[in-house]
Each structure stands twice: as structure tokens, then as C-alpha cells.
Amino acid sequence: MEAILIGFMGSGKTTVGRLLAEQLQTAHADLDELIVQRAGQPITAIFARQGEGQFRQLEQRTLLAALQRPGILSTGGGTPTTAANAAILTTSSIPVIWLDATDATILARVAADDGRPLVNELDTTALLTLKQRRAALYAAAADLVIATDRLTPTQISQRIVDWLAQSAQRVIQA
């Protein structure tokens, strides 16, 4: 992996991840899609039938496998919330980029999306409380933070490309 994108649901991880992979001429993997492939069922079904605990275990195994592949990885919003996943992200040499967005932006992006289990289960207040609780976990795992609200996905992707290039130059010079 060249980079891992983290952030709350609706922050743009998948959209930016695809663009970033295209710019870097590499593969893109979406952790949620990899989980669906591995489980043979949608995430909403995994949550409903097996619960969040089983989902997080499957997520951890899938994350470890994904890190062995080339490309850009867009994670699920809850990926860094378990201690095991957080440790994987923070100890990996792969750059972790937190795509952050304001509450208003997140709500506007996820309001009509019934494919997100937590959006279906939580009211607005609970959803924003969850976002706030996760912020410290995202910050702890991130090597770079990008506020996405006023940027297009293309602008975000370009900032990441520029940052990755600068980081590579520092390593070469060291």
C-alpha cells in the first residue's frame, strides 16, 4: 500500500481513494468492499446477523491482508476504533491520511444513504457524538490530516500526491 485513508463516514475516503490511485497509477481497494467479498454478504447483513463485534474481527483480518497489496486503501469509518486496528495503522510504515469534515458536511453526505448501518441505527445527535468520539482515534493514527469541506475530491487527491512526494524526498535525503 502507498497510503491508507481514514475518517468518519461521508468524509470522502472512497471517492478520494479512487482518484488518488488513478493519479498514482496504482490499484485502489475499499476495505468495506473487501469485507463484503470475503464474507459473501453486505455489511448491513453482517451487522444484523452477527453484530458489530464479529464485523470488527472480520475487518481486522481483511485489513491485515489488504496491507500486503499494492495501492491505496480506503478504510471504513470505524476501522481505527478497535485497539487491534489502531495498532496496525500506527505501527505500519504506510502513510495514514485522515480525511476530516465538519458535522454539517457529514450529515449532508450521509443523510439519504441507507447502506450505512450506523446511519440507520443512530439519530443525528448520536451520530455526531460518535463522530466526536472517533476524532481522537483518527488523530492518533494519522500522519496527515486534510479538512475536506472546501476542497473538491481532485484537490484533496492532489494535496495527498504532493505530500507523499515531499515525504519521499525527505526519506531519500536522510
The total of structural domains in the chain comes to 1
Q: Cβ atoms within 10 A of the Cβ of 44, count?
A: 14
**Per-residue pLDDT averaged across 105-120, rounded?**
69
**Per-residue pLDDT averaged across 96-100, rounded?**
98
Task: Give the pLDDT confidence score for residue 120 in this predicted structure.
Answer: 56
Distance (Å) of CA 35 to CA 3, 105, 168: 19, 26, 31
Please check the confidence at residue 170 and state whether its pLDDT lies above 60.
no
Look at 108 and 102; give whichever has higher pLDDT. 102
Q: Does residue 61 fall inside a structural domain?
A: yes
Q: Does residue 171 fall inside a structural domain?
A: no
Contact 153, 84 (CB under 8 A): no
Domain, as residue range, for 28: 3-166
Q: Does residue 88 fall inside a structural domain?
A: yes
Task: Give the pLDDT confidence score for residue 174 in this predicted structure.
Answer: 45
Q: Does residue 74 fall inside a structural domain?
A: yes
Q: Does residue 173 fall inside a structural domain?
A: no
What percentage of the chain reaches a pLDDT higher than 90? Answer: 70
Task: Give the pLDDT confidence score for residue 43 in this predicted structure.
Answer: 85
Q: Does residue 125 fall inside a structural domain?
A: yes
pTM over 0.75: yes
Q: Which of 41-50, 70-79, 111-120 has the lowest mean pLDDT?
A: 111-120
**Per-residue pLDDT averaged across 18-35, rounded?**
96
Look at 169 and 103; give whichever has higher pLDDT. 103
Q: Does residue 102 fall inside a structural domain?
A: yes
Residues 6+ apart with CB under 8 A from 34: 62, 65, 66
Task: Give the pLDDT confidence score for residue 48 in this predicted structure.
Answer: 86
Q: Does residue 174 fall inside a structural domain?
A: no
Q: Tell me, what CATH number does 33's domain have?
A: 3.40.50.300
Task: Give the pLDDT confidence score for residue 35 in this predicted structure.
Answer: 96
Q: Round to whole Å and give the CA distance between 159 and 144.
A: 10
